[in-house]
Amino acid sequence: MIQIGRPYIEQAGKNFRLTADVVMDQETKKWWFEVPAEYKQYLCTERSDAFLIGILPLAMRFGEDISLDAPVTEELLFNIETELIPSLVNSSKNLYASRIFAETETEIINEGAWGVGTGNSMGVDSFHAIEMSLHNHCKSYHLTHLCHYNVGAFNDTYSTAGEDEVREICLRNAKQVAEEYGLPMLISNSNYEEIVDINHLFVNTYANLYAVYCLQKLWKTYYLASSEFGFHRFQLEDNDMYDSAHYDLLTVNCLSTRGLKIYSEGGERNRLEKIRDIVDSEVAQRHLHVCVREAYNCGVCHKCKKTLVAIDALDKLENFSKVFDLKAYAVHREKYLEEICELHIQNPLDYNEPSFQLLKHRMPQEICRKYADILDLGKQQYEQRGVCEIDGVLSYVNADGYKAEEGWIIEGRKRYYCVGDGKLVVGNFHQIDISWYFFDVDGTMQRGLKQIGNDFYYFGKDGSLRRGLQQINGEMWHFDETGRGSDAGWIQVGSRKYYCFGQGRLATGTVCIDGSNFEFETTGVMK
């Protein structure tokens, strides 16, 4: 049972926090959402709506019921219990139908709310939501605020470039975007990712709507910028293994109420159509940021490549010369075009397909000749099923006798990952989307604390590699930016100091170091 106390407001320097005490696994933690003083009046202490939405994916993944001390809006609870939970559970073998224990209220808590908001991440989806709202002829739906919610989107994404540095640069640029649009920028902070310890990819919709509902006295309308998973790619099957954006069409409907309407903005359009809608926006031309590696567009990560190819397909590359290195793209263009040919062959429903269709008549002839024959390759059927060895390679054959395609494979509690043509990842690390995982010699995804070679690594319940400070079986550990247990010595994290014995394990209590005694808290922080 997850128990969530009544929300209350506490001051944090010049800011204010909406806080609730949460009890999970017999441990009490403070769960907070922080805003500047001018937004204090909009923090909602009367209802538990925000905390219910935020905790729901964790409870369903790990078989927990939820008890809330403060009331929940009756309409919201009805939608969650009768539509959202059953729909998700019936389409997944791994989710639990969490029971919710809370009193309900029918009164609209945000009567008189006037705000219309959306996130300001400076990506394609974000700019599309902004541009479509501001140019809509229905003026009561025009944006009044742009928002920056720190609820886990940077989790492990920019570990190489430095998450804090990238966040600071992106926030500075986002403020400039808001200024150019003439809109206030609502900047918040939260420890959401510490409470809901799940890869952000799987919970991003819930995380953002948790933040929205923390300020539900402000909002009457909120646009959740839909990703490339538009309505035409709506998917519930095995929903716990995919980006939560796959089923935004269901989520935003269930998590809307009479007082607060959530829209999945842009879900009716594919990626290329969204880019076409924003290519002439001068603000987007100056500030578009799609990179998952750097604070500026690197031009080589998968997001940069697919965006460049789409802009190329629209013949609008020069519009974005301020945010992309177009000379570098020209050097690598042929390679990128070959990649979308491969994607067309492997999966015609891929998000690059519209770009391929526009570009296929403009491709170099040698590329067309190279891929003409590949399209006619057939598939071989096998007698084996499940995990098996084929030609010396550990592989996975589906129930129909054909090799598995790229993606996750679930067998009970075991999870495997296929890189294509049935081949499983075996005895190695592998990056999937923004996270790293480790698969044993039998192909199974690993969880928990693992010794690999001479080093220790820690993998969350969802299997993703964790970094930084971690509490494991009552002990404090620290893992460096590569995920490896830190070396022996002093560690500085912000203003706090820790001491590591080696391989990641931190000191607690009284410890003699180089002939002197030092005191450390149970959290590992030096007193």
Residues 235 and 300 in one domain: no
Residues 398 and 365 in one domain: no
Q: Please state the separation of Cα 485 from the chain's center in Å.
A: 25
- The answer as to whether 288 is a domain residue is no
Domains held by the chain: number: 4
Range 26-35, long-range pairs (CB < 8 A, 24+ positions)? 29/194, 29/195, 30/191, 31/4, 31/191, 31/192, 31/195, 32/190, 32/191, 33/188, 33/189, 33/190, 33/192, 33/210, 33/211, 33/214, 34/188, 34/189, 34/190, 35/186, 35/187, 35/188, 35/215
Range of the domain at 464: 458-520
- The answer as to whether 526 is a domain residue is no
Backbone phi, then psi, for 329, in 5-degree steps? -65, -40
Residues 88 and 137 in one domain: yes
Residues 19 and 109 in one domain: yes
The secondary structure of the chain in percent helix, strand, coil, rounded to multiples of 5, reads: 35, 30, 40
Residues 233 and 162 in one domain: yes
Residues 266 and 402 in one domain: no
- The answer as to whether 331 is a domain residue is yes
Residues 325 and 189 in one domain: no
- The answer as to whether 93 is a domain residue is yes
Residues 242 and 106 in one domain: yes
Residues 76 and 225 in one domain: yes
What are the pLDDT tens digits along the chain (527 aa)?
999 999 999 999 999 999 999 999 889 999 999 999 999 999 999 999 999 999 999 999 999 999 999 999 999 999 999 999 999 999 998 999 999 999 999 999 888 899 999 999 999 999 999 999 999 999 999 999 999 998 876 655 665 556 778 888 999 999 999 999 999 999 999 999 999 988 888 899 999 999 999 999 999 999 999 765 556 667 788 888 888 888 888 999 999 999 999 999 987 888 889 999 999 999 999 999 999 888 899 999 989 999 999 999 999 999 999 999 999 999 999 899 888 888 877 776 667 778 877 777 677 667 766 766 543 334 677 888 999 999 899 999 988 788 898 999 998 889 999 998 899 999 999 999 889 999 999 999 999 999 999 999 999 989 999 999 999 988 999 999 899 999 999 998 888 999 999 999 999 999 898 889 999 998 899 88
Give the C-alpha separation, 433 to 418, whole Å. Answer: 14
Residues 126 and 259 in one domain: yes
**CA angle, 132 then 136 then 142, to 5°:** 85
Number of neighbours of residue 463 by Cβ within 10 angstroms: 21
CATH code (residue 466): 2.10.270.10
- The answer as to whether 206 is a domain residue is yes
- The answer as to whether 410 is a domain residue is yes
Residues 339 and 412 in one domain: no
- The answer as to whether 285 is a domain residue is no
Residues 349 and 230 in one domain: no
Alpha helix stretches (DSSP H) within 215-281? 248-254, 271-278
The domain boundary, picked from 347, 374, 401, lies at: 374
**pTM: predicted TM-score of the whole model, two decimal places:** 0.71
- The answer as to whether 201 is a domain residue is yes
